[in-house]
Structures are given as structure tokens and as C-alpha cells.
């Protein structure tokens, strides 16, 4: 940063960083940002949370913003404490979906769609609050998934109802994922939207290019989940129209197979009947027909990533049950390799199943054998259904996740998002008395005003 000198003048520096106005009063001739952070103690006796340092916040010198962020962070932390106490390791509600206001209003009228994100629709607001929530959650040992890479809706509709193609500016969306990944997001959920710049002409959830971009370009090292393959027309209609799959089971099976071949880790299942009678048998048959082929290799790679994650979350003791005494003393990476080689393909495929039991869903006894085959899969929403998995001697601990809350309730998120948007508008409208002039100009109060762009 250049040094600016004007003897006897109070200097007000105004910075534009990523389109956001940052202001700082400087009495000295060598103004600089203070490298300070606010440490907030846990009222519940948990570890103190250290928010983003002031240099990385959107507004570095706003007491209002600091107070708002601190209140938000504390609420997020308390929610994480509550979820951790109930045994959840993952929160799946890090929504990074946003649209321009005009498009959003149009889509609400056409599709009765609510706000894409609980934090409003301003890209900077959604990104910043989600990033801060991720940091607060991680301090309490709860991981956060961000979604949907890249979106569930766009000006042409909503991927719950139709095939969509991304046709806007991709930059703010990629920036949002880059920031939240850097903030600690260790799970990313893929949407069913076609993004020509990244995923070629395939929906992101079944695109090798899309997943490769996420892992290599954005440097994401965590778990990749696909959004629902079983009920969303954005993916079902794609396989009907582009691949000639006429029946719903055939469409779902093709999507799951392509997701695995693309390098994904877990996929959502909300229909145990189709999963047990169609998807699993067809994929298993394909693997058995070519046990050393690409599909088998991709399942092994996904199982390796999943076992590494489970070792990090659950410790290593469960692995040793499935290894002999000699192998149980090996380094963790070698034990996981042994485990992957030792387990049947069915059980490794089971690790990739994201079982979604909405609250109150009864388990059909007819499919108990199928459920047992899913041992170690990820179950959300209805912890009571976990018990049947514990009745089997051969057990791999399942993840437990919740997908409804990020900081408590949707209303609470909207409250913070709205307050934050108001604050941004206030700063942008210069209600704080900031006067922007050309570099070297003099403001209305007679003080020198300098604008620095970088």
C-alpha cells in the first residue's frame, strides 16, 4: 500500500475490496489495518471461538457489524453444542444458493420457491455468514456441508422440477465456495444443474469435470455428496431425455452409476424399495462382471475417503474389529487399505449410501435385509432408526447428520441475513458521513480524503 502524507490533516481512508466499502480513520501518517480478533468465551463452558480476523471481514471498521457477527457466531456455536450433544457430526444446511433479486421474485411467483439461502440473497451476506457459522461449528466438533454446487435454481426454473442450465455470472458462486472451503467446510453437496463452463453438458452431480474442478481447482479435500437422485426431476428428466431411460428406477440407477464413476462419495436415497430392488443389484452385477474395472475402482476410492473420515470422527477402534491382530497395529492409512481390500463390494457400496429417513418415516420390515446391507451408511433426521443397525455384529459406525438448521431456525437465519443486508446498505449509502472524492481531494469537513483501490 502506498504511503500518503499530508501534514496536520486527519486522513480518512476508504478502501474498495471485492466491491465492499471498508473505512478507517487514520490520525497517523502510516495507517494500517489492526491485526486483531475478538475472542468470545463459551457461556456453556465450551472452547472459546475465535472469529475471522478483521482483515478478512467484509467491513473492517464497523462496530455494528462486529456486534452483529459476534451475536451470530454465538448463536451458531450454541446450535453446534446442542447438535453435538445429540450425537450429530454433520450439519447439511450450509446453503450458498443465491440469485439476483429480480430473478428470485420471478421464480417465487412461478415455482413458489422460498429464499434460496436462509441468510437472504446478497452473495456477500450469504457467503460471510455461512463462513462464520462453519468456523463456529468446527470449534464444537460439528462439520458443515455447503450446497448446492452450483445451485438448485436459475432464471429458467428449479432443478426440483426440470433440467436446468446455468446461464449467469459464475464468479460470485465460485468465490462463495472458495471462501467457505477455506473457512473449514469439509462437505460439499452437488446440485443437479448443468454448468457449461465446468460440467460440460452434464448436471454437476454426474459430471467428472465438475467434481475434478471442485477437488483440483478449488482444492477441496473433503466429502462430495450428491443431492437427491430419487425425486428431483432435474436429474431424472436428464436421463429420460438425454439417455433414453424411460422408467424411474432406470433413471435413478444410471444417475447413481455415473455419480460413482465421476468420483463422488455419497448419494442420497429416499426410496428404500427402488434402492434395494433396482439400484444396488444392478451396480453390484456391473461390478461382479468386471471386478477390476473402473466402477469397482471408484467404489474403492470412495470407501477409502469415507473410512478416513470415519476414522477422524469416530476414532480407529471400530476398524480393528475387522482386522486381525497383526494388521490392527499398522499405521492408519495401511489399516484403511487393508479394510477396503477385506470388505465385500456390497459393504463398500453401502458406505456411499446416504439414507434419508424424514422424521416419522416407518421402516418397512420387508426391506430389513436391504437396510442391513447398508450398514455404515449416513442417516439423517430420524435418529431412532439408527437402532436396527446396531443389532448386527458386523458394524461400521454411520455418520449422523441434520439438514434443517445452520444456526437454529430458518427464521433466525433470515433475521441475521436481513440485519446484515441492512447494515451493508447503510454503509453503501454513506450514512456514516463518508465522502468519496478523487484521490487528493478535500471533503466537506475540510479534511483530506484519499481513495485507495486494490
HSE (CB half, 13 Å, CA atoms) of 266? 30
Higher pLDDT, 249 or 431: 249
Q: What is the mean pLDDT of the chain?
A: 75
Q: Before 150, cis peptide (omega within 30)?
A: yes
Cell (9 digits) for 422:
441492512
**Percent of the chain, pLDDT > 90?**
38
Is 80 exceeded by the pLDDT of residue 250?
yes
Higher pLDDT, 87 or 13: 87
Residue 50 banded pLDDT, cuts 50, 70, 90: very low
Cell (9 digits) for 26:
487514520
Least confident piece of the model among 45-49, 94-98, 170-174, 383-387: 45-49
Measured between alpha carbons, how far is 427 from 59 in angstroms, rounded to an integer? 9
Asked whether 352 and 295 are in contact (CB, 8 A), the reply is no
Higher pLDDT, 315 or 58: 315
Task: Label the pairing between strands 164-165 and 187-190.
Answer: unpaired
Of the candidates 218, 100, 106, the residue with the CA atom closest to the CA atom of residue 151: 100
3-class DSSP state for residue 161? coil
pTM of the prediction?
0.80
Is 60 exceeded by the pLDDT of residue 4?
no
Burial of 301 per CB tally in 10 Å (0-12, 13-18, 19+): middle
Is 80 exceeded by the pLDDT of residue 216?
yes
Residue 18 banded pLDDT, cuts 50, 70, 90: very low
List phi, psi (to 5°) of 16. -110, 115
| Site of grid cell 481531494 | 441
Least confident piece of the model among 28-37, 56-65, 108-117: 28-37
Residue 211 banded pLDDT, cuts 50, 70, 90: very high
Highest mean pLDDT pick, 280-289, 341-350, 438-447: 280-289
Any residues with CB less than 8 A from the CB of 232 and at least 6 apart, and which? 159, 160, 192
Mean pLDDT of 320-324: 86
Q: Cα–Cα–Cα angle for 99, 255, 281, nearest 5°?
A: 150
Mean pLDDT of 321-325: 87
What would the pLDDT profile of 356-371 be if each residue is shown by its tens digit? 766 556 555 555 555 5
What would the pLDDT profile of 107-122 be if each residue is shown by its tens digit? 666 655 556 677 877 8
Is 70 exceeded by the pLDDT of residue 274?
yes
Domains contained in the chain, CATH given: 86-408 (3.20.20)
Any residues with CB less than 8 A from the CB of 29 and at least 6 apart, and which? 3, 4, 5, 6, 11
Asked whether 340 and 363 are in contact (CB, 8 A), the reply is no
Is 80 exceeded by the pLDDT of residue 45?
no
What would the pLDDT profile of 333-349 be if each residue is shown by its tens digit? 999 999 999 888 888 88
Residue 100 banded pLDDT, cuts 50, 70, 90: low
Amino acid at each position: 500500500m502506498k504511503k500518503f502524507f499530508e501534514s496536520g490533516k486527519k486522513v480518512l481512508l476508504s478502501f474498495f475490496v471485492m466491491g465492499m466499502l471498508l473505512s478507517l480513520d487514520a490520525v497517523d501518517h502510516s495507517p494500517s489495518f489492526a491485526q486483531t480478533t475478538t475472542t468470545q468465551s463459551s457461556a456453556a463452558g465450551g472452547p472459546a471461538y475465535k472469529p475471522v480476523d478483521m482483515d478478512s471481514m467484509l467491513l473492517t471498521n464497523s462496530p455494528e457489524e462486529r456486534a452483529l457477527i459476534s451475536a451470530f457466531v454465538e448463536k451458531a456455536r450454541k446450535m453446534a453444542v446442542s447438535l453435538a450433544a445429540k450425537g450429530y457430526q454433520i450439519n447439511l444446511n450450509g446453503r450458498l444458493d443465491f440469485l439476483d433479486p429480480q430473478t428470485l421474485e420471478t421464480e417465487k411467483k412461478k415455482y413458489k420457491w422460498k429464499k434460496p439461502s436462509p441468510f437472504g440473497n446478497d452473495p456477500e451476506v450469504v457467503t460471510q455468514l455461512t463462513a462464520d457459522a462453519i468456523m463456529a461449528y468446527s470449534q464444537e466438533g460439528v462439520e458443515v456441508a455447503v450446497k448446492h454446487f452450483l445451485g438448485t435454481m436459475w432464471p429458467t426454473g428449479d432443478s426440483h422440477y426440470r433440467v436446468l442450465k446455468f446461464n449467469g455470472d459464475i464468479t460470485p458462486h465460485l468465490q462463495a465456495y472458495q471462501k467457505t472451503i477455506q473457512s473449514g467446510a469439509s462437505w460439499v453437496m452437488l446440485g443437479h444443474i448443468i454448468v457449461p463452463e465446468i460440467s460440460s453438458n452434464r448436471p454437476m452431480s454426474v459430471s467428472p469435470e465438475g467434481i475434478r474442478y471442485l477437488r483440483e481447482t478449488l482444492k477441496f479435500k473433503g466429502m462430495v455428496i450428491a443431492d437427491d437422485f430419487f425425486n428431483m426431476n432435474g436429474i431424472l428428466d436428464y436421463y429420460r431425455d438425454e439417455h433414453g431411460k424411460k422408467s424411474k428406477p432406470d433413471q435413478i440407477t444410471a444417475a447413481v452409476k455415473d455419480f460413482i464413476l465421476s468420483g463422488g462419495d455419497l448419494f442420497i436415497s429416499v426410496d428404500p424399495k427402488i434402492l434395494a430392488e433396482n439400484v444396488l443389484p444392478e451396480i453390484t452385477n456391473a461390478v461382479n462382471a468386471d471386478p477390476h474395472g473402473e466402477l469397482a475402482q471408484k467404489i474403492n476410492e470412495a470407501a477409502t475417503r469415507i473410512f478416513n473420515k470415519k476414522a477422524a470422527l469416530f476414532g480407529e477402534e471400530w476398524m480393528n474389529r475387522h482386522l486381525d491382530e497383526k494388521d490392527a497395529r499398522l499405521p492408519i492409512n495401511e489399516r484403511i487399505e487393508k479394510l477396503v481390500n477385506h470388505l465385500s463390494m456390497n459393504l463398500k457400496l453401502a458406505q456411499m449410501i446416504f439414507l434419508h429417513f424424514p422424521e416419522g418415516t416407518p421402516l418397512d420390515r420387508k426391506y430389513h435385509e436391504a437396510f442391513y446391507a447398508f450398514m455404515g451408511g449416513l442417516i439423517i433426521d430420524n435418529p431412532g432408526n439408527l437402532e436396527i443397525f446396531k443389532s448386527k455384529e458386523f458394524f461400521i459406525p454411520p455418520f449422523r447428520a441434520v439438514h434443517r438448521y445452520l444456526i437454529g431456525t430458518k427464521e433466525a437465519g433470515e433475521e441475521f441475513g436481513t440485519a446484515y443486508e441492512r447494515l451493508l446498505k447503510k454503509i453503501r449509502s454513506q450514512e456514516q458521513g463518508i465522502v468519496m472524492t478523487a484521490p487528493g481531494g478535500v471533503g466537506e469537513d475540510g479534511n483530506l480524503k484519499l481513495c485507495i483501490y486494490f
